[in-house]
């Protein structure tokens, strides 16, 4: 599943520095706007200690983790919705992503210029929100023109539902609220809303880029962000991107852990960000475990067994017969598939089984 998170923010807030930490693809992290012209794409491994624990028991020939794509998108400026700066490029790139990682500058440094002359993460957030909202409003108004007459005079139920969804979005956007703050009760309305692909309907995570001294507890700028987004149901992550860059350059795992301990962190900001991005996309992991490989597979939360089988191969979904399921904790407790079976802890599930995060799966199929 090639799902993408787009890293966005104003110029010089630390997007490319953070991207460099996340990926081996090195974006140019320079102290001037638009150093990232084309979106840089990095395929990021999702850290999952469960994979290592399974491998210790199974001793496979190889271990295959799950991944998420991270896209570093050019910095946005005021007027982007009208094509200012690299606005059109920015908006096209962000439209293709599944979720947004919004980086906010939450540190003081006279050596790093700010496009608006001063540090104010809430103002920066509002600039990007405003530009994305304007573009969404343009989309909504264009759609309203197409369906309004049909909805109001033609007796077309589908057109009426679409019109009602558009009007609710229009009201929110005109009030300066993003589309993600609007909720719909019926499945039909939810489907119409999804198919509009609005920029501000995408799930968002705010990453507060701080100095090293603020890496553990944050600072006054982080508190400003918390207050500003308290009604958005959005996740906030504190990351010291420059410190993370230093950690990324260390060669051994032990050196990186010592560095983290000195700073006062148990886990790197990069690892926390990747895990959070995975959750932001509403993703979970199931495993397959055998002597050839122990592998993590990505699926959307709530998927049933046949859909999850299809992640491996479409034939698995088409010819699905049943799934043999072992819970992760049971596998760890008993130490092998054979011991789990002997203990009666392997379950056989049909087409309606909703796969759970951490399940170890073996699919039976016939095509």
Report pLDDT for 89.
63
| pLDDT tens per residue, range 176-191 | 989 988 989 899 999 9
109 and 231, same domain (yes or no)? yes
Instruction: Report yes or no on 83 lying in a domain.
Output: yes
How many CA atoms lie less than 13 Å away from 182 in the CB half-sphere? 25
Question: Given a cut of 90, is residue 76 above it in pLDDT?
Answer: no
Q: Supply the pLDDT for residue 94.
A: 82
Distance between CA atoms of residues 298 and 67, nearest Å: 8
Q: What is the pLDDT of residue 239?
A: 92
Same domain (yes/no): 150, 14: no
Does 107 share its domain with 220?
Answer: yes
What's the confidence (pLDDT) of residue 24? Answer: 52
Instruction: Tell me which residue of 287, 295, 353 sits closest to 320, measured CA to CA.
Output: 353
Is residue 75 in some structural domain? Answer: yes
CATH number at residue 356: 3.10.20.30
Q: Above 70 in pLDDT, residue 351?
A: yes
Q: Which of 146-155, 287-296, 337-346 has the lowest mean pLDDT?
A: 146-155
Residues 258 and 311 in one domain: no
**CATH code of 152's domain:** 1.10.150.300
Strand order from edge to edge, sheet including 347-349: 62-64, 293-300, 283-289, 360-365, 320-326, 347-349
- 291 is annotated as contributing to ligand binding: no
Residue 316 is classified by DSSP as H
Measured from the Cβ of residue 220, the count of other Cβ atoms closer than 10 Å reads: 8
Tokens of 63: 């271990």
What would the mean pLDDT of 111-134 be, rounded to a whole number?
84
CA distance 342 to 123: 61
Q: Are residues 101 and 29 in the same domain?
A: yes
The Cα angle at residue 316 between residues 49 and 299, in degrees rounded to 5: 35
Return the DSSP state at 47: P
In a domain, 321, yes or no: yes
pLDDT tens for 204-253 read: 999 999 999 999 999 999 999 999 998 777 889 999 988 888 887 887 87
Model pLDDT for residues 261-281, shown as the tens digit of each residue: 888 888 888 888 888 888 888
Annotated binding residue 87: no
% of the chain exceeding 90 in pLDDT: 46
Given this model, what pLDDT does residue 33 score? 39
Tell whether residue 16 is among the known ligand binding residues.
Answer: yes
Task: Answer yes or no: is 17 a known binding residue.
Answer: yes
Q: Which domain holds residue 312?
A: 301-363
Mean residue pLDDT across the chain:
86
Least confident of 129-133, 229-233, 286-290: 229-233
pLDDT tens digits, one per residue of 21-65 = 876 544 444 443 334 445 577 788 888 889 999 999 999 999 999
110 and 36 part of one domain: yes
The answer to whether 120 is annotated as binding is no
Same domain, yes or no, for 68 and 170?
no
User: Distances from the Cα of 114 to the Cαs of 120, 207, 348, in angstroms?
Assistant: 10, 17, 58
Give me the number of domains the chain comprises. 3
Specify if 287 maps to a domain.
no
Please give the Cα distance from 205 to 194 (Å, whole number).
Answer: 19
Phi, psi of 292 (to 5 degrees): -75, -45
Question: Which domain-ending residue is among 169, 194, 219?
Answer: 194
pLDDT (0 to 100) of residue 115: 66
Q: CATH number of the domain at 233, please.
A: 3.40.50.300
Q: Pick the closest to residue 135 from 76, 69, 206 (CA basis).
A: 76
77 is in an annotated binding site: no
190 occurs within a structural domain: yes
């Amino acid at each position: 599943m090639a799902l993408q998170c787009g890293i966005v923010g104003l110029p010089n807030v630390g997007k490319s520095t953070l991207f460099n930490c996340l990926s081996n693809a090195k974006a140019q992290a320079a102290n001037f706007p638009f150093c990232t012209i084309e979106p840089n794409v990095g395929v990021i491994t999702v850290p999952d200690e469960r994979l290592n624990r399974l491998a210790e028991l199974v001793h496979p020939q190889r271990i295959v983790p799950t991944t998420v794509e991270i896209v570093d998108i050019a910095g946005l400026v005021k007027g982007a919705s009208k094509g200012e700066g690299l606005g059109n490029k920015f908006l096209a790139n962000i439209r293709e992503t599944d979720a947004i990682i919004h980086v906010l500058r939450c540190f003081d440094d006279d050596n790093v210029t700010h496009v608006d002359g001063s540090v104010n993460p809430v103002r920066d957030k509002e600039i990007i929100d405003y530009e994305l909202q304007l573009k969404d409003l343009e989309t909504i108004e264009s759609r309203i023109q197409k369906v309004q007459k049909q909805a109001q005079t033609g007796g077309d139920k589908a057109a009426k539902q679409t019109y009602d969804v558009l009007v609710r979005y229009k009201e929110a956007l005109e009030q300066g609220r993003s589309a993600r703050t609007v909720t719909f009760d019926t499945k039909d309305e939810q489907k119409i809303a999804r198919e509009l692909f609005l920029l501000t309907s995408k799930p968002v995570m705010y990453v507060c880029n701080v100095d090293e001294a603020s890496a553990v507890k944050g600072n006054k700028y982080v508190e400003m962000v918390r207050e500003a987004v308290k009604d958005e149901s959005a996740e906030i992550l504190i990351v010291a991107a420059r410190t993370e860059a230093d950690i990324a350059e260390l060669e051994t795992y032990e050196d990186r852990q010592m560095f983290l301990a000195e700073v006062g962190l148990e886990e790197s900001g990069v690892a926390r960000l990747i895990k959070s991005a995975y959750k932001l996309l509403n993703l979970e992991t199931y495993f397959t475990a055998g002597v050839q490989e122990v592998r993590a597979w990505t699926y959307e939360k709530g998927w049933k067994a046949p859909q999850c089988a299809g992640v491996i191969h479409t034939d698995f979904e088409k010819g699905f017969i049943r799934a043999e399921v072992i819970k992760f904790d049971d596998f760890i407790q008993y130490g092998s598939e054979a011991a789990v079976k002997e203990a009666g802890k392997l379950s056989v599930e049909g087409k309606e089984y909703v796969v759970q995060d951490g399940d170890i799966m073996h699919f039976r199929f016939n095509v």
